[in-house]
Amino acid sequence: MSQAHFDQAAATWDADPTRMGMSKAFATAIVATVPLQAAWSAMEYGCGTATLSFLLAGKLGKITAADASPGMIEQVHRKVVAGGIANVQPRLLDLTDAPPPGERFDVIFCAMALHHVADIASLAAKFAALLLPGGWLAIADLHAEDGSFHPDVAVPHHGFEPEELAAVFAAAGLTGLAWRTVHELERHGRRYPLFLLTGRRPDVSRCDLCGDLLPCPL
Ligand SMILES: C[S@@+](CC[C@H](N)C(=O)[O-])C[C@H]1O[C@@H](n2cnc3c(N)ncnc32)[C@H](O)[C@@H]1O
């Protein structure tokens, strides 16, 4: 699916109420799984209009809301100004063809964007490198489907088998990978289950048993 498609869709993206329901389900699942902290820096990748970032903004420090579509980023700017939400910072970014930002994040989340990226192993490695030690990754996306979710356009992945996706992120160095189905999205008269996959970059400076800085008494 091309950037032009998302640029064109951006202005009316939030008009579809099923998208807000989906983002709320992802936000609830992330809050239940990841111990978000007000001091944390976060990045939402493939943010679209950043609905998920705005839902989580009160629980985090700075959120970089990144997307490859200038039209989507323009909408995020508009919502930041309209809502006076200073800790969501829009950024035009495509990690598949641009160098990663210099900063590191306590949490990276990504909703319904991964199935638009062809080389997910490469992106997984970039996400892992962008996480601080002990940082969390949260990926929300479609369970594997028959291609009917995008009837008119080609996408590189028709959803994912969560176990296979977990193996991709494990190969990138993340640990504690776990997933569960968190929502069903209705499209074209059908229901598509969506999962949340989470994992962490290991913190090699902390004890696996007690969490204290090494060397610890254990
Ligand atoms: C289906 S939309 C999901 C948007 C939003 N996360 C949501 O849940 O409503 C996919 C988004 O991923 C973005 N995207 C696709 N490929 C990308 C890439 N390589 N880098 C960054 N963003 C990308 C698109 O511009 C689009 O905004």
DSSP designation for 173 = T
Measured from the CA of 110, which atom of ligand 1 is nearest?
6
Q: Is residue 211 part of a domain?
A: no
CA distances to 100, 147, 190 from 97, rounded to whole Å, are 9, 26, 35
pLDDT in tens, 86-143: 999 999 999 999 988 899 999 999 999 999 999 999 999 999 999 999 999 999 999 9
d(CA 182, CA 140): 9
The position carrying tokens 């160098």 is 99
Whether 48 is in the pocket of ligand 1, judged by its Cβ within 6 Å, is yes
106 CA to middle of ligand 1, Å?
21
Q: What is the pLDDT of residue 207?
A: 76
Q: Is residue 36 part of a domain?
A: yes
Q: Which CATH number covers residue 76?
A: 3.40.50.150
pLDDT in tens, 156-191: 999 999 999 999 999 999 999 999 999 999 998 999
Q: Is residue 206 part of a domain?
A: no
pLDDT in tens, 2-52: 789 999 999 999 999 999 999 999 999 999 999 999 999 999 999 999 999
Instruction: List all residues 6 or more positions away from 13 whose beta carbon is below 8 Å from its beta carbon.
Output: 19, 48, 49, 72, 75
Number of domains into which the chain is organized: 1
Total Cβ atoms within 10 A of residue 170: 14
Measured from the CA of 111, which atom of ligand 1 is nearest?
6
Whether 44 is in the pocket of ligand 1, judged by its Cβ within 6 Å, is no
Q: Is residue 177 part of a domain?
A: yes
Measured from the CA of 1, which atom of ligand 1 is nearest?
15
pLDDT in tens, 186-214: 998 999 999 999 999 998 877 777 878 78
Q: Is residue 171 part of a domain?
A: yes
Q: Is residue 209 part of a domain?
A: no
Q: What is the pLDDT of residue 2?
A: 73
Q: How far apart are the first and last CA of the chain?
A: 52
Whether 6 is in the pocket of ligand 1, judged by its Cβ within 6 Å, is yes
pLDDT at residue 1 above 70?
no
71 CA to middle of ligand 1, Å?
11
Q: Is residue 205 part of a domain?
A: no
Task: Name the residue with higher pLDDT: 135 or 151.
Answer: 135
β pairing state of 190-200 and 175-187 = antiparallel
- Give the domain extent around 61: 3-200
126 CA to middle of ligand 1, Å?
16
pLDDT at residue 216 above 90?
no
Q: Is residue 154 part of a domain?
A: yes
